[in-house]
Structure 1
């Protein structure tokens, strides 16, 4: 009998892939941490706002100071929500990438999303500086998508394999990163400065327009990813096992890769090259709720959102009034953690 015709049954999965009973409790705690981080993030700044006033303003209730509502809802809350959504998108993308490549050190950059998005954005900012800045997110998304498609096509040889995806993805990363650095080296200094800010990763100045663009994208793709969590579980076991359980491996891997690309591409296009979220969040989530993707995906998403919100808060406060892009903060956190993973995961 053709293995691909066998209907998939979640009950055939190993016990380690069953939903962990800790998931509801962990998600509840992470939700409280998220709300706390958001209230602190929104209240901090040159004009400090009391947490209770912040909470009332977020809910649309009347506050004691008229300027409080404007500061929170026009200047700070959109930035906080964008940081949160970017963290969610990158975390889910990283979780999917680690599952389909079966590599615990994988993140969206390993299949060329980050580097492709960066190259496209730098090309637009340096070679076509007169073009509207509103096209930078579009160019970044298309750049990440094109590189990811090329990686997938070149990795195809009677099907794809995690090893080929990783090797070709790393190769494209090196090529596109070199081209990006080359353009920065020879570009006009005024245009290069804009590109460097974008490459650092920042949510500074983000408005409700970016929230409205990113929110439906993140919600829809996150729901689709969660509905495919059983497929992620089987792919994580290896192609042969997945086929024996009735999975259509190539179709599922391609679809999940497309979701990962779309989530990471949209996040990077909105906030620039914020790194390491897709690497750190899934690992922390596994320690809390195990390896089943039914619990792993939402847990990693919550952790990713919290990390970016806190990173942006630290970037605003550490050397105030000078702001450090949140992408640099996540790099400072992520680099030693990556070294730790290299040592422990070998």
Structure 2
């Protein structure tokens, strides 16, 4: 049986307990995300070394370097980091709530809901980028409300949430396909580009709503709901004995995860498999049970900014949408995960 080294810091009535391996994994992922971000900023038609990028970020670059870094490439990288972190954190929450390794916004229908909202904004209202982002957020939130209303009478847990989510995703996929058939050629092309998941052309106006959502939701999930979520993994009865209001906790976690998914989709489109894959990779790194929220968050940032770098360099002379890369890599991971689950007799 593997023993996990745990450190405890106490200050009066306050205490912090953490695994050394989890801390090392989280710091490693955080530094890897920053390093990849610097690498992506330095890539492109105007290549820059890591030293030049850091010097420019510190305010010492030339005028062209300052413009390229601060106005063109930095918003794109920050969007990738934040969106990847948001999707991974939402995925870790959903997998813990459903107690299923396949629980993620992609499977449960929340990503499709955000897509439906964005498509309605494009096809029906001819919305610009700001209204499109708003439509994606509203679509994701509305889908969360619908699933909550259906599941709530018998509780937000287990296969009930998964089955309702899969059914909702199937309905919304058909609805989204219908919207595309009703769109004009220019609207359909614009919608298709957004549907693949794309970081090209992202500016600070795309970063701001997602950044505000992260500032509010990440501390809430990590600090306010993280400990009760770990207690919930011990079982409902045990959690209730320890003072956890189980249904209220599940509702708060569902709302936070839906909002994280919706704002991430509004910023980068329905990027697939980051929310599914990041928590699994985080658990492999930490080798500890539990949701591993902080490590999953950092791993998601690594995955999306790394996928963006691959998207820019995989095909010489052509940039792929980042959603294509995450779909190819994440799809392969999903097949492997399903095979492992089948060998273990769980499906």
Give 1:321 shift. 3.3
CA contact (8 A) 1:111 1:148 kept: no
Aligned in 2, Cα 1:318/1:252: closer, same or farther, shift over 3 Å? same
Give 1:298 shift. 1.2
2:55 corresponds to which residue? 56
Aligned residues: 324
Are 1:303 and 2:299 matched, yes or no? Answer: yes
2:114 to 104, 113, 117: 117
TM-score normalised per structure 2: 0.89
Are 1:224 and 2:223 matched, yes or no? Answer: no
2:289 to 283, 291, 307: 291
What are the within-5 Å matches in structure 2 for residues 1-346 of structure 1? 19-60=18-59, 62-63=60-61, 65-129=62-126, 131-227=127-223, 228-289=225-286, 290-293=288-291, 296-346=292-342
Whole-angstrom CA distance in 2 between matches of 1:241 and 1:199: 43
Give 1:257 shift. 0.4
CA contact (8 A) 2:91 2:104 kept: yes
1:4 corresponds to which residue? none
Give 1:91 shift. 0.4
Give 1:187 shift. 2.4
Give 1:126 shift. 1.5
Give 1:66 shift. 2.7
2:10 corresponds to which residue? none
Comparing 103-112 and 166-175, the one that deviates more: 103-112
Give 1:236 shift. 2.7
Q: Secondary structure at the match of 1:19?
A: strand
For structure 2, the residue ranges without an aligned partner over 5 or more in a row are: 1-16, 343-347
Q: Secondary structure at the match of 1:201?
A: coil
CA RMSD of aligned residues (A): 1.5
Give 1:96 shift. 0.4
Whole-angstrom CA distance in 1 between matches of 2:207 and 2:124: 28
Whole-angstrom CA distance in 2 between matches of 1:254 and 1:184: 33
Comparing 306-315 and 105-114, the one that deviates more: 105-114
CA contact (8 A) 2:156 2:251 kept: no
TM-score normalised per structure 1: 0.90
CA contact (8 A) 1:121 1:139 kept: yes
CA contact (8 A) 1:57 1:72 kept: yes
Give 1:197 shift. 0.7
